[in-house]
Structure 1
Amino acid sequence: MSKSDNQIQKDVLAELEADPSVRAADIGVEVKDGIVTLAGHVDSYAEKWHAEQAAQRVSGVKGVAVEMDVKLPGENQRTDADIARAVKNTLEWNVFIPNDPIKVMVEDGWVTLTGEVPWDYQRRLAASSIRYLAGVTGVSNQLVLKPKPTETAVKASIESALKRQALQDANAIKVEVHDHDVMLSGKAHSFAEKELIHHAVWNSPGVWKVTDNIRI
């Protein structure tokens, strides 16, 4: 039985109140046909992001529309140049992110990242590492992955991971690669083995998306 909009609204409000990163009193919640609209003013981009994640965690939610504004307190007001310097410093200090290929643009506190990185985790980490910087009102992650994956490379990653843990032969897993997307099928012996295969694929350079059809 599907939830009513009224129940979804109550559950989203409860989830917001349970999240210590969010001040639920500042956020209005409306629900229509399972689509949640979040409105109001928050003090930081991080709070806005956490509110959106909280709403998405609630069962029955079909979509989330974010109409919240980031209104920074007076002490957090910073110029775009200050924010750009803080972003560059954060990226430089993070040993997992190749800073040189990443370009930073800031307009009214909104940070846009462009450039190429070898790995998907670097792309995601670059955005998440600047989410909590004072003065940031939003982040557009336009980083792209440099190399395209090949079936041979992805299979090699899976085989190496399985061999390290003395598990099944990688030939039991079928790998299809279309541009930067990888589709997996076949059979694994356990959920843990399936997770290991999934992790190995994401550790292959150039992978943007993984469709996992592996059976257990």
Structure 2
Amino acid sequence: MRADSSIKEDVLAELDWQQNIDESQIGVIVNNGVVTLTGVVDSYSKKVAVEKAVNSVAGVKAVAEEIKVDYGNNLKKTDAEIATAAVSALKWHSSVPINTVDVKVEDGWVYLSGAVGWDYKKTSAKKAVEHLLGVHGVSNTIDIKPAVKPIDIKAKIKKAFERMATLDANKIDVEVEGHTVKLRGKVGSISEKNEARKTAYFAPGVYEVKNELEVE
């Protein structure tokens, strides 16, 4: 288990490495591998970038994200303006099928609902709107309803893990019950844990992934 001081040092170094992040705006506290982030940024996309950067650091077990977004008076957008921009962004995003995602905006938060066939389409919908000016957060509750039936899901997922250079497939157990996949075992970072979940969702017929992988 890594020392908190060592994890904090790497987190600060990773934030400094990211060109779109001003690390001086971010406060970092580490306690038993849990990283608490504070501060203020001028866009939601920067907030997402900070969390992604921290998740990539080895030893980080969880992230408590308390960063606030402040666009300033000159860049504020009404909910109607944000909603219009979100609908347009989804319409022109090639990975999001037309008329499958519903949008609601309240106090700068974008709420996505509806149904798509794959997890990457759900993720793409979130990415399409999170960079829009005025957005303070995104709640993504889009359902995943693949049209295909599950065919040897476990074998396909294990093979996919074996092809990935960032994962040790021998440390990950895959359990399948119906359309639900459960992942157990050990990984080196939160980003590896997230990557394993995303990879499992690519298997045909997977509706849900229960990610119980532990960060070493």
| Length-normalised TM-score, structure 2 | 0.73
Structure 2 residue aligned with 1:189: none
Equivalent runs, 1:172-191 vs 2, <5 Å:
177-182=176-181
CA contact (8 A) 1:149 1:207 kept: no
Equivalent position SS for 1:135 = coil
Structure 1 residue aligned with 2:104: 105
Q: 1:145 and 2:144 equivalent? A: yes
Structure 1 residues 80, 200: closer, same or farther in 2, change over 3 A? closer
Structure 1 residue aligned with 2:46: 47
Highest CA radius of gyration, 1 or 2?
Answer: 1
Distance in 1 (alpha carbons) for counterparts of 2:47 and 2:152 = 38
Distance in 2 (alpha carbons) for counterparts of 1:176 and 1:29 = 36
How far did residue 75 of structure 1 move?
3.1
Structure 1 residues 178, 107: closer, same or farther in 2, change over 3 A? same
Structure 2 residue aligned with 1:20: 19
CA contact (8 A) 1:101 1:115 kept: yes
Distance in 1 (alpha carbons) for counterparts of 2:176 and 2:72 = 47
Gaps of 5+ in 1: 159-174, 185-197, 212-216
How far did residue 177 of structure 1 move?
4.1
**Which has the bigger relative contact order, CA under 8 A and spacing at least 6?**
2
CA contact (8 A) 1:149 1:180 kept: no
CA contact (8 A) 1:120 1:205 kept: no
Distance in 2 (alpha carbons) for counterparts of 1:61 and 1:87 = 33
Structure 2 residue aligned with 1:114: 113
How far did residue 53 of structure 1 move?
1.1
CA contact (8 A) 1:118 1:205 kept: no
How far did residue 107 of structure 1 move?
1.1
| Length-normalised TM-score, structure 1 | 0.73
Distance in 2 (alpha carbons) for counterparts of 1:33 and 1:210 = 24
1:93-130 superposed Cα distances (whole Å, 9 cap, x missing partner): 11221231211111111111011111211111000111
Equivalent position SS for 1:88 = helix
How far did residue 202 of structure 1 move?
0.9
Structure 2 residue aligned with 1:96: 95
Equivalent runs, 1:193-212 vs 2, <5 Å:
202=202, 204-209=204-209
CA RMSD of aligned residues (A): 2.9
1:12-65 superposed Cα distances (whole Å, 9 cap, x missing partner): 111111111211111100111111100011111111111111111111212110
Distance in 2 (alpha carbons) for counterparts of 1:115 and 1:201 = 18
CA contact (8 A) 1:150 1:177 kept: no
How far did residue 81 of structure 1 move?
0.4
Structure 1 residues 75, 179: closer, same or farther in 2, change over 3 A? farther
Structure 1 residues 68, 151: closer, same or farther in 2, change over 3 A? same
The alignment-based identity, stated in percent, is 40
CA contact (8 A) 2:179 2:207 kept: yes
Gaps of 5+ in 2: 157-173, 184-197, 212-216
CA contact (8 A) 2:201 2:208 kept: no
How far did residue 71 of structure 1 move?
0.8
